[in-house]
Structure 1
């Protein structure tokens, strides 16, 4: 048998071109599919590597939004003409009014502790319709009994008239917008003196066994707020 006949009877494996047309003459070409030969674990980890940064970004964005949502709002900036009043409130300058009550008394006299067991209200006749706010405190000062009486009079005029009537000496102008009253002789309560604000209805009276102790007690035991700060102080001032 000739070689040409043998080659036609046993053609051998088909060529690539023949394989693509194995469907027959005129058939559609068979598509070639690219298969990812990498193992399955790689494909799973690739999904994780893509998702984790995305989830982290979303979590960070949510946390930032939550902080902004719950962050306290800043206090509004105070107006230039606002002040802090004696009662702690904030108001326009000149509108705070005169300190009143025990809180007002303690504001005017920072040395006064209204809760101290050494202090108590001063009893006044029941017939007095308008009574001053008064607190009397007792101290052992230099081994002597000293009493200090803080008062907020009903009006400035009444307060000064009352002190002028009970003290033979005064009013004597002193520093800080205040005036001083004192007695010349010993009284049953001892030697007494009073210091009052000249333009505000507040005064303090001190009684001691002798004049030297009385004056020392006024100096060491009593604190006065400056006359210009009785009703209001700047917002930047400490309480």
Structure 2
């Protein structure tokens, strides 16, 4: 059977059309295979590690809570003692009047309980052992009581005494942080009431970060 010229032309067109379809598909498969291999062997992105962050007491964002600095200044005292309100009219900076105590920050606040005056002083002690040593020397003759957690870890130390000029005082200092609060009142019961109902403490584990 003799092949007509038109049949040969049709077969050439068919082969050309097949090549046009198969060639792009082959190229696409090769590209996909290469990209897949790269993704398979590439290092996993450290998205979680890069985005993980902590917020410090002053609002600064850091990679790790251990990078947060120690609370300092009036704002730091405000964080350590949530009951401290430095913006109130009855609170004032008294560090200049008590430089001999070696406090880095010292604010005194006055208020009343059942009509009797109460004075609360919030302090940031000097860094290191010097600040704590000066405080313990001041109260060396007084009995110290330690407030502990349920597992026995010391939280705060407390000293109580009757003032020579009249009135009663309690000094409370964190066991592991350089911050202290003092409550003075005309009566012993008022001193304890002022300490119990007014003073608020930041948990030691949340001292530097939110």
> Is 1:144 matched with 2:116?
yes
What's the counterpart of residue 82 of structure 1?
A: 53
Partner of 1:134: 106
- Return the offset for 1:130: 5.7
Scaled by the length of structure 1, the TM-score of the pair is 0.59
Alignment partner of 1:181 is 2:159: yes
Kept in 1: contact 2:116–2:186 (CA 8 A): yes
Instruction: State the number of aligned residues.
Output: 157
Q: Deviations over 1:7-35 (max 9, x none)?
A: xxxxxxxxxxxxxxxxxxxxxxxxxxxxx
| Partner SS state of residue 75, structure 2 | helix
Give the number of the structure whose residues are more often helix, by fraction.
2
Q: Using a 3 Å threshold, how does the CA distance of structure 1 residues 80 and 174 change in structure 2: closer, same or farther? A: farther
Which consecutive unaligned segments of at least 5 residues does structure 2 have?
A: 1-46, 150-154
2:174 to 197, 205, 213: 197
Q: Secondary structure at the match of 1:114?
A: coil
TM-score with structure 2 length normalisation? 0.67
CA contact (8 A) 1:164 1:170 kept: no
CA distance in 2, matches of 1:148, 1:117: 14
Give the alignment of 1:137-176 within 5 angstroms. Answer: 137-167=109-139, 168-175=141-148
Q: 1:88 Cα deviation (Å)?
A: 0.7
TM superposition shift of 1:174: 0.4
Gaps of 5+ in 1: 1-75, 234-239
CA drift of 1:169 comes to 2.2
- Calculate the aligned-residue CA RMSD, in Å: 2.5
